[in-house]
Structures are given as C-alpha cells and as structure tokens.
Amino acid sequence: METLERFMEEWARVLGKGCPLLSKESLEDLKALAPPPGIPFREEPVGLEAIYEEIRACRACRLGQVRRKPVPGEGPLEPPFMFIGEGPEAMEDQQGKPFVGPAGELLTAMIEKGIGIPRSRVYITNVVKCRPPGNRDPEADEVEACWGFLVRQIQIVRPRVLICLGRVAASALLRTRLPLNVLRGKPRRFQGIPLVVTWHPSYLLRNPAAKRGAWEDLKKAMALAGLPPGKG
Ligand code: URA
C-alpha cells in the first residue's frame, strides 16, 4: 500500500491537481485492488539492471555453458565514452568485471593518464559477455547471441562517443570485414552516435609502437565528445 501511495504522490507531483487518476474515489478503487498487507509488490528491475539480470541468466550460446562469471559491463549513464572490447579473458571471467587484467591496466592508463578522466566516468563493456575458452576470437553465432544486449546497453547508456577496441568490436558494430587499419582514422557512426575505431590494448601490449596511433585515435574521440585535448 505504501508503494501505491508513493506512486500516487509522485504522479500528483508530476501532473499537478485535477488529474482524474488522482481523485479520492480512484485512489480508494486502486487501494481495493492492491494486494493484502504482507504480499509485497514485485519490483521489476529496469534499464541496465534488467539487462544485467538477463545476461546472468543467459545460456544462449556455448560460452554461457563454460564461463565462470558473465561480464556485463560497468560505468555511468551518459558518459563521454563507451569503450567496447572483444570479450572477457581469464581475470574478467573470475571477477565478473571488464578489463581488469593486463589489457585493462593499459586501458585504465589510456583513460586516466591519456584522456585525463577517472575510469569510473566511462562505460566499459565487450561484444560478448562470457569468456571464449583460451581467449579465442568469439564465433559469429556467439556475437549474434550477445548482440541484443550490446545494442540495448548503448541505447540506455547513451554515450557521447563509442570507441571500438580492436577488430572484433569494429566488425560487429560496423558490420564489415575490412581490416582494422582501414577502419581506423575516419570517425564513423552507429545509430547516430559517433564511433571511433582503435587498436585493442592487448595488441598495444604486444606492439608498443602502435601506441602513438592509438593516441591519435583517442584525440579524435575526445574532440567528438567535446573534451579538451588530454595529457597524452
Ligand atoms: N579483453 C577484452 O576485450 N575485454 C576484456 O574485458 C578484457 C580483455
């Protein structure tokens, strides 16, 4: 009953007086329909939490059968950037959090030392939410099984700029087989949101000379997000 009254008060606040829904009679009618005391309203999760619950329950592809923990993603709504990697590796699979291993350390440095904002201000996720065994590339059907989660995350999170880390993320979002060096450099769009492609941090760990190019990509992303030039 408390929930019903809070709901009615909230509507009264939003709609003001005079709404037929808020007449004394209609409140009494609604109270009559409410469950007896002791039977709580079931609060359905909404938004990101609803997606995270679906991911935790998902067994749609073979990755869901062998994972330890799914890794839905983390970060605030309406961030300047949403970083999209490929899929969890061993440490992410253990902890249920994205980019917490060696590649994550480098990504954190790119965000905090390069762009100059705390990692907690950006949203980070992956194309597939469960670890591909042995860190192999996800198969096309595994990407498709997770695709709806990623699209809904993007729509709810509403980042200013999407940053695809590596070929798997870039080809999933841009629906192309073009190589990464062709996709980098030119800003693109996904559902109207500016999208920048850069190297995956794991590639940068193996090829440190590519870091200069990655920094150029991040500078483009910062300009698209309306941020001042970072520290580099
Ligand atoms: N590599 C990824 O693509 N994602 C992670 O979360 C970790 C490593």
> What 3-state DSSP class applies to 126?
strand
Residue 1 has pLDDT above 50, yes or no: no
Q: Which residue has the higher pLDDT, 9 or 222?
A: 222
The answer to whether the CB of 107 is under 6 A from ligand 1 is no
CA-CA-CA-CA torsion for 164, 45, 61, 128, nearest 10 degrees?
A: 10
The closest residue, in CA terms, to atom 7 on ligand 1 is 99
Residue 129 has pLDDT above 80, yes or no: yes
* Residue 82 phi, psi (nearest 5): -120, 115
Mean pLDDT of 80-103: 98
Spatial separation of the C-alpha atoms in residues 108 and 111, rounded to whole Å:
5
Amino acid 163: pLDDT: 98
Kind plus residue range of the DSSP H or E element containing 162 = strand 161-165
- Cβ distance 138 to 196 under 8 Å? no
* Residue 192 phi, psi (nearest 5): 85, -10
Spatial separation of the C-alpha atoms in residues 58 and 146, rounded to whole Å:
9
Min mean pLDDT across 13-22, 135-144, 168-177 is at: 13-22
Ligand 1 centroid vs 166 CA: distance in angstroms?
10
Residue 42 has pLDDT above 80, yes or no: no
Residue 203 has pLDDT above 80, yes or no: yes
Amino acid 19: pLDDT: 47
Ligand 1 centroid vs 81 CA: distance in angstroms?
16
- Architecture in CATH for domain 48-225: 3-Layer(aba) Sandwich (3.40)
Q: 179 vs 16, 83, 109, 189, 198, CA distance in Å?
A: 57, 19, 26, 17, 11
Min mean pLDDT across 4-13, 43-52, 72-81 is at: 4-13
Ligand 1 centroid vs 1 CA: distance in angstroms?
46
Amino acid 221: pLDDT: 98
Mean pLDDT of 81-106: 98
Residue 132 DSSP code: P
Ligand 1 atom closest to residue 166's alpha carbon, by position in its atom list: 3
Ligand 1 centroid vs 15 CA: distance in angstroms?
46
Q: What whole-number percentage of the chain has pLDDT above 70?
A: 80
The whole-model pTM stands at 0.82
Mean pLDDT of 98-117: 98
Confidence category of residue 106, pLDDT binned at 50, 70, 90: very high
- Cβ distance 70 to 58 under 8 Å? yes
Domain range summary for the chain, segments of one domain joined by +: 2-33, 48-225
